[in-house]
Amino acid sequence: MESEAIQDELQSLELEIKDVQGQISALIEHQDRLYERKSELKTLLKAVAASVTPVASSCPDGSSAVENWSEPFEWDSRADDIRFNIFGISKYRANQREIVNAIMAGRDVLVIMAAGGGKSLCYQLPAILRGGTTLVVSPLLSLIQDQVMGLAALGISAYMLTSTSGKENEKFVYKALEKGEDDLKILYVTPEKVSKSKRFMSKLEKCHNAGRLSLISIDEAHCCSQWGHDFRPDYKNLSILKTQFPKVPMVALTATATQKVQNDLIEMLHIPKCVKFVSSVNRPNLFYSVREKSLVGKAVVDEIAEFIRESYSNNESGIVYCFSRKECEQIAGELRARGISADYYHAEMDVNMREKVHMRWSKNKLQVIVGTVAFGMGINKPDVRFVIHHSLSKSMETYYQESGRAGRDGLPSECVLFFRSGDVPRQSSMVFYEYSGLQNLYDIVRYCQSKTKCRRSAFFRHFGEPSQDCNGMCDNCALSSEVKEVDVSDLAKLVVSMVQDMQAKDQRVTMLQLGDKLRTKHKDLSAELKREEIEHLVIKLIVDSVLKEEFLHTPYSTNAYVTTGPLANQLLQGRKTIKTETSSRQINKKSKRSSSFSGLESKLDELRKEISAAHGSMLPHTVLSTQQIGLISSQKPDSLQELESIIGKLKTDKYGDKILEVMRHDTVSEQLVEDATKEETCKSRSSKRAKTQKNVVLLESSEEEEA
Ligand SMILES: Nc1ncnc2c1ncn2[C@@H]1O[C@H](COP(=O)(O)OP(=O)(O)OP(=O)(O)O)[C@@H](O)[C@H]1O
Ligand SMILES: [Mg+2]
């Protein structure tokens, strides 16, 4: 009997020890996360301190003095001429001129500039100014094709060497590299050419030896680093370029790179003395918002369709991102059924089909692409007006990238994320094995759950940049709302105790089951609490480390279960409170953040589509950008000379007559409308007068009759 009692105590001690060990490892994990956040905050603090000292180009070895790339340079007027008369760009954007100057001065340069910031101009302009040939390494065929087509439309001799370029083209390029007799201003290659083709490298060597290799540009340079989000092994071998051509300036460009990725790039490309230009991650023209996602799938599609119809009725381009291939196909179909021109795009489609969809969309023949994240880096379309996330991204970084495909032309555009707590376990069971995968996911969940914090500031915090004014360009800043904080600690305790009880019985529970069990056990609650409210609370407890997700693999899937987290006891012992935000906010679903085309703008839009269709491969925005359309219709030029002062010489020479014809036609039809309106007004006045007189007559006659 005594031994039985000892056995019992031993068993319960073992259980307790197991429990304590579990808590210790959870606490250690939590501590790791806190350390990591601490180091992020320290970097942020340094960045804030640096932002109050004058921003200067800097060398990582600390050897350079402050250099002023904004001062006048001898090539200024030639650069201005090419910028305006060839590229049709009326003024530089932030840092563009300085970058061009540093490259022209023969320096290696690292450019970190947000998506759509205008990185291409930074190397294309010096490519023309410097003479000789510029080599551009770019990771994707579609990006290269877009760029070559765009440059060709501007009359710049740009070529590419890729797996798809034909023999004739290859022969021409190799001869031009070797002999230098034909014009080859810009040559685009994929990284594989540099790392794998000896023939190409030997031709490049000849070009260099003849003093004709004037600049090397590495686009999407983050692909060099395995800490970046799109690591490409062939990018690692690009170090050979600087080793072989040490005196040729190199410019590496990317939209996002943390400090770690930047250092990696500098080391891997062998450009330790580069001049670094880091622009803000801020995209001031993007309006960020999060909408509550209904439990009913059809209602979500209804809302998306309504949003597109209400705000983008002129066929303005957009993207809807979905979680899975199946969802893409289904939602594209449902949008079509609601009268929206939509098609899907995902990795499992045939390449030709995918290209076809992409091309229709690029040519504005299809309004919406419903895609998975596979629809990514190759998107070069500048006039994407909205990016909708049907479910949340896996991190703030990927959300920034994906939503950032909107508004690359700088015009107002919208990024809407549909969030529902029930979507979190789907993502977490995909990312839990990635380095910091769960922590990154919980960061974006916090972004979605907040009803008060500026959405933009979350990006600044994430990229370690000092905050900037949002100017009301997110839902939380724009919509004055009554947000109340509610203490839900008692309910949270119920949830945590229930999880604890089940754990003690070795039972596993998913988030969905937990909600159901809670409502069954506490019937009084089920009347008050909706399923999504319980899910919302459970997810909040997970991101706050009170609960924790655990994963189990089956042969077909990975399932996410809820267990107690490192801070569970703190809550149960009353040392931690849990508060949620509730809002009485009414999202103005009909809010129109982007201005739609006026009559004349629509006509110019039609014209650019016609010209693009006639040229086959040329894209509409290469003919005229949306910004240029806006300028033309507001300034209404009525001569080629006036038009040239808006869009530059090249485009005026090419399309000026057609544009003016549209303008004249518009003025005539405006005049006709005006005349018709006047006539109508006159008619209606005289008919009113007649009616009045008639009435008077009638009245008189009736009076007479009466009399
Ligand atoms: N100074 C400028 N003024 C007006 N438009 C500009 C200017 N510079 C570039 N653009 C336009 O902005 C759009 C985006 O430019 P670009 O493709 O170079 O962006 P990016 O920085 O390379 O973006 P991403 O990271 O997405 O590749 C293009 O349509 C381009 O013509
Ligand atoms: Mg680019």
- Secondary structure (DSSP) of 621-668: HHHS-HHHHHHHHHH---SHHHHHHHH-HHHHHHHHHHHHHHHHHHHH
Distance 13 CA to ligand 2 centre (A): 62
**Ligand 1 contacts CB of residue 88 (under 6 A):** no
pLDDT digits (tens, 9 = 90+) for 486-522: 899 999 999 999 999 999 998 999 988 988 888 888 7
Cα separation, 553 vs 639, in Å, equals 70
**How much is the mean pLDDT over the chain?**
86
User: Is the CB of residue 169 less than 8 Å from the CB of residue 157?
Assistant: no
What is the arithmetic mean of pLDDT over 367-377?
89
Residues 311 and 594: beta-carbon distance below 8 Å: yes
55 pLDDT tier (thresholds 50, 70, 90): very low
Q: In this predicted structure, what is the pLDDT of residue 698?
A: 33
Task: Report whether residue 153 contacts ligand 1, using a CB cutoff of 6 Å.
Answer: no
Kindly report, residue by residue over 394-446, the tens digit of the pLDDT.
999 899 989 999 999 999 999 999 999 999 999 999 888 887 789 889 999 99
- Position 321 scores a pLDDT of 97
For residue 87 and ligand 1, the question of a CB distance below 6 A is answered with: no
Percent of the chain whose predicted confidence (pLDDT) is above 90:
53
139 lines ligand 1 (CB under 6 A): no
Confidence bin at 25 (pLDDT 50/70/90) = confident
What is the predicted pLDDT for the residue at 8? 86
List all residues 6 or more positions away from 596 whose beta carbon is below 8 Å from its beta carbon: 312, 313, 314, 316
CA distance 114 to 285: 12
Residue of the CA atom closest to atom 25 of ligand 1: 115
pLDDT at 49: 65
Which atom of ligand 1 sits closest to the CA of residue 143?
27
Which protein residue's CA is at the shortest distance from atom 9 of ligand 1?
A: 118
Q: Closest ligand 1 atom to the C-alpha of 117?
A: 21
For 615-666, the pLDDT digits (tens) are 877 888 889 998 899 899 889 998 999 999 999 999 999 999 999 999 888 7
| Cα–Cα dist 189/200, whole Å | 10
Between the CA of 191 and the centroid of ligand 1 the distance, in Å, is 22
d(Cα 628, Cα 646) in Å, to the nearest integer? 8
**CA 116 to centroid of ligand 1, rounded, Å:** 5
Q: How many angstroms separate the alpha carbon of residue 463 from the centre of ligand 1?
A: 21
Burial group, residue 625, by CB count within 10 angstroms (0-12, 13-18, 19+): buried
Q: Which atom of ligand 1 is nearest to the CA of 113?
A: 21
Amino acid at 121: L
Q: What is the pLDDT of residue 472?
A: 92
**Ligand 1 neighbour 475 (Cβ under 6 A):** no
Give 287 Cα–ligand 1 centroid separation in angstroms.
19
**231 C-alpha to ligand 1 centroid (Å):** 23
Which protein residue's CA is at the shortest distance from atom 24 of ligand 1?
A: 115
pLDDT at 695 over 90: no
CA distances from 127 to 14, 78, 114, 216 (A): 72, 13, 22, 9
Residue 527, pLDDT > 80, answer no
Q: Which atom of ligand 1 is nearest to the CA of 255?
A: 25
DSSP state of 505: T
Q: Which residue has 């429990």 as its token pair?
A: 19
Give 353-360 contacts, CB < 8 A, sequence gap 24+.
Answer: 355/142, 358/142
Q: Please tell me if the CB atom of residue 92 comes closer than 6 angstroms to any atom of ligand 1.
A: yes
CB 220 within 8 Å of CB 377: yes
Indicate which residue's Cα is closest to atom 22 of ligand 1.
119
Residues with C-beta atoms within 5 A of ion ligand 2: 119
What is the model's pLDDT at position 31? 78
pLDDT for 297 equals 93
3-state secondary structure 435-497: CCHHHHHHHHHHHHHCCCCCHHHHHHHHCCCCCCCCCCCEHHHHCCCCEEEEECHHHHHHHHH
Single pTM value for the model: 0.80
Ligand 1 contact via 119 beta carbon (within 6 Å): yes
User: What ipTM, to 2 d.p.?
Assistant: 0.99
User: Ligand 1 centroid to 117 CA: how many Å?
Assistant: 5
- Residues 61-74 have a mean pLDDT of 71
Q: Is the CB of 400 under 6 A from ligand 1?
A: no
CB of 112 within 6 A of ligand 1: the answer is: no
Q: How far apart are CA 94 and CA 250, in angstroms?
A: 20
Q: Which ligand is nearest to the CA of 377?
A: 1
Which pLDDT value is given to residue 61? 40
- Would you state the pLDDT for residue 56? 39
**Smallest-distance ligand from the CA of 379:** 1
Q: Which residues contact 36 (CB under 8 A, 6 or more apart)?
A: 436, 439
Q: Which atom of ligand 1 is nearest to the CA of 122?
A: 18
State in Å: Cα 219 to ligand 2 middle: 7
Give yes or no for residue 696 having a pLDDT over 50: no
Q: Is 120 in the pocket of ligand 1 (CB under 6 A)?
A: yes
Q: State whether the beta carbon of 378 lies less than 6 angstroms from ligand 1.
A: no
At residue 58 the predicted structure's pLDDT band, cuts being 50, 70 and 90, is: very low
Q: Give the pLDDT confidence of 207-246 residue by residue, as tens digits.
A: 999 999 999 999 999 888 876 667 788 888 999 999 999 9
- Relative to the alpha carbon of 114, which ligand is closest? 1
pLDDT of 570 > 90? The answer is no
Segment 351-366 shows an average pLDDT of 90
Q: Closest ligand 1 atom to the C-alpha of 118?
A: 18
Q: Are 318 and 386 in contact (CB under 8 A)?
A: yes
Query: Which residue has better confidence, 128 or 28?
Result: 128
